[in-house]
């Protein structure tokens, strides 16, 4: 094996690895735990929360003719003596909260 072939092989390997890393970083979804943490942070701005949950599997969701893959979850908190529960829908790609619904 000569040096030119070796250096060419290393260069092609590095370029392929870099390209693969870039593609994977663009397609990576937010973990359900991260989406839940985002929702908890948003709700904590209005006061302490007492519980939370999230479905670990993303599912399809449509809002305003736009289609998303989302995680559905919930937050419980107290307002005075009364418990309040909310369901939230978070974009699985970005972790952004798309909707919040009070549960009665």
Q: Per-residue pLDDT tens, the chain, 104 aa: give them.
A: 677 776 767 676 777 776 667 665 555 578 999 999 999 999 998 888 999 999 999 999 998 899 999 999 999 988 778 889 999 999 999 899 999 999 87
Q: Which two tokens stand for residue 70?
A: 């989302």
pLDDT of residue 64: 87
Q: CATH topology for 31-103?
A: Nuclear Transport Factor 2; Chain: A, (3.10.450)
Domain boundaries, the chain: 1-28, 31-103
Residue 26: predicted pLDDT: 56
Q: Whole-model pTM?
A: 0.70
Q: What is the model's pLDDT at position 38? A: 92
Rounded to whole angstroms, the Cα distance separating 58 from 23 reads 21
pLDDT at position 7: 73
Distances (CA, A) of 2 to 7, 9, 11, 13: 9, 11, 15, 17
Cα 95 from Cα 34, distance rounded (Å): 7
At residue 99, the pLDDT reads 93
Given this model, what pLDDT does residue 5 score? 72
């Amino acid at each position: 094996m000569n040096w030119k072939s070796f250096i060419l092989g290393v260069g092609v390997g590095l370029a392929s690895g870099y390209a693969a890393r870039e593609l994977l970083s663009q397609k990576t979804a937010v973990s359900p735990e991260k989406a839940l943490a985002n929702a908890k942070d948003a709700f904590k701005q209005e006061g302490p929360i007492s519980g939370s949950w999230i479905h670990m599997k993303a599912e399809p969701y449509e809002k305003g003719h736009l289609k998303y893959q989302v995680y559905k979850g919930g937050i419980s908190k107290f307002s005075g003596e009364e418990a309040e529960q909310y369901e939230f829908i978070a974009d699985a790609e970005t972790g952004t909260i798309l909707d919040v619904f009070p549960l009665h």
